Amino acid sequence: MKTAKGILLWAILFAMVFPLLWMLRVSLLPPDSALNLTDLLAGSWAFITYIDIFSGGNMLRFFLNSAFVGLTVTLGNILFCFMTGYALSRYRFIGKKFWFYSVIFVLMIPTHIIIIPLYLLIFKMGMYDTFWALILPFLVNPIGIFLVKQYIDTLPNSMEEAARIDGAGEFRILFRIILPLCRPALAVLAIQVFLTNWNSFLFPFILTSSESVRTLPVALALYQGHQAIDWPHLMAGSSLAVIPVLLVFLVFQRHIVSGITAGAIKQ
């Protein structure tokens, strides 16, 4: 019984990681290799694909574009989700309930509905095919606000009250007192936003067209248009898209899991 379960667990594990291992192995083959078993197991190991990528060329640019957009959007979300979450948790103001419901509303809405109008809006704002299009609409997100609000709801407000009596302003309270307390929630938020944005395809795809602002997933998806697919290079580019995610995952596993499960259990 024990060994049967063990065999099952390892078999599933193999099925889950095989495609990713395949990707890594193919990325380390010389570009003219056949992708058969002999080459895969006994074939030579070459770093030519990675050397090609890092010696300039477009793939490196797409990687850097993705990193730039991902980091900017993540910073924006840390700041703005935090501010909004705090406001919705602590202040009383007209329309607060409405804005909270707007967060829940956007959380549940299928995004496909805004593909066409967002494209037209971005176009008319003159942001089509610029980094603005990839950043501005995504600087704050409902899941992040929800996460921060729930977290701040659990904090006692005695420290804020004390600070207020001491004459501290609202900005000072927000950034000097509450922000440090929210670090755990903001870490979860940052990782989630970065991973989502790093993997994001649909909006970068429809909101840009030129290579100077193309992100890595878009570049990989469009790469296929070429006649004969150069799998080693394509898989090297893919590895470039996957390796940062795996690193983030290995380092911050706990945060990722708690971020995912937080929403589900609150239901």
Partner 1 sequence: MKSRAIYGHLFSAPWIITFALFWLYPLAYSLYLGFTDYRLMLPDYNWVGLENFRNLMHDSDFLSALKNTFIFVLGTIPLTTVISLLFALLLEKNFRGRTLFRSAYFMPSITSMVVIALIFTNLYSRGGYLYLLADMLGLSPPPNGFLLSSKTALYTIMAMDVWMSVGYYMLLFLAGLKSIPKELYEAAEVAGAGAMRKFLSITLPLLKPVALFIIVINTIKSFQVFIEIFVMTKGNYGTSTAVYFIYDSGLSRFQFGYASAAAYILFVIIALFSIAQFKLLKSRPVQ
Among positions 247-266, residues that touch partner 1 (CB under 8 A) are 249-250, 253, 256-257, 260-261, 264-265
* Sign of CA pseudo-dihedral 246, 250, 254, 255: negative
Q: What is the footprint of partner 1 within residues 124-143 (CB under 8 A)?
A: 137, 139-140
Neighbouring CB atoms inside 10 A of 48's CB total 14
Reference 57, options 242, 254, 230, 178; nearest CA is 230
CB of 257 to partner 1, least distance (A): 6
Q: Using the minimum distance from each CB to partner 1, give the nearer residue, 60 or 174.
A: 174
- How many whole angstroms separate alpha carbon 246 and alpha carbon 262? 21
167 φ/ψ sector (left φ>0, alpha ψ -120 to 50, else beta) = left
User: How many residues sit close enough to partner 1 to count as binding (CB under 8 A)?
Assistant: 83
Are the C-beta atoms of 198 and 70 separated by less than 8 Å?
Answer: yes
Q: Using the minimum distance from each CB to partner 1, give the nearer residue, 46 or 139.
A: 139
Give the binding range for partner 1 (CB under 8 A) out of 15-23, 41-49, 56-64, 151-159. 15-23
Q: Indicate which single residue of 44, 45, 55, 93 sits in contact with partner 1 (rule: CB under 8 A).
A: 93
Task: Map residue 23 onto helix, strand or coil.
Answer: helix
Assess 157 for contact with partner 1 (CB under 8 A): no
Q: Indicate which single residue of 41, 42, 94, 228 sits in contact with partner 1 (rule: CB under 8 A).
A: 94
Q: What is the footprint of partner 1 within residues 34-63 (CB under 8 A)?
A: 35-36
Q: Indicate which single residue of 57, 96, 172, 184 sits in contact with partner 1 (rule: CB under 8 A).
A: 96
Q: What is the footprint of partner 1 within residues 228-247 (CB under 8 A)?
A: 231, 234-235, 238, 241-242, 245-246
Give the binding range for partner 1 (CB under 8 A) out of 43-51, 56-64, 79-87, 151-159. 79-87
Distances (CA, A) of 50 to 8, 9, 54, 95: 36, 34, 6, 53
Assess 221 for contact with partner 1 (CB under 8 A): yes
| Distance spanning both ends of the chain, measured CA to CA | 36
How many CA atoms does the CB half-sphere of 109 hold within 13 Å?
13
**Which residues lie below 8 Å from residue 2, measured CB to CB, with a gap of 6+?**
none
Give the binding range for partner 1 (CB under 8 A) out of 42-50, 150-158, 179-187, 195-203. 195-203
* Sign of CA pseudo-dihedral 258, 200, 182, 156: negative
Query: What does the per-residue mask of binding to partner 1 show for 163-192, with x meaning CB under 8 A?
Result: -------x---x------------------
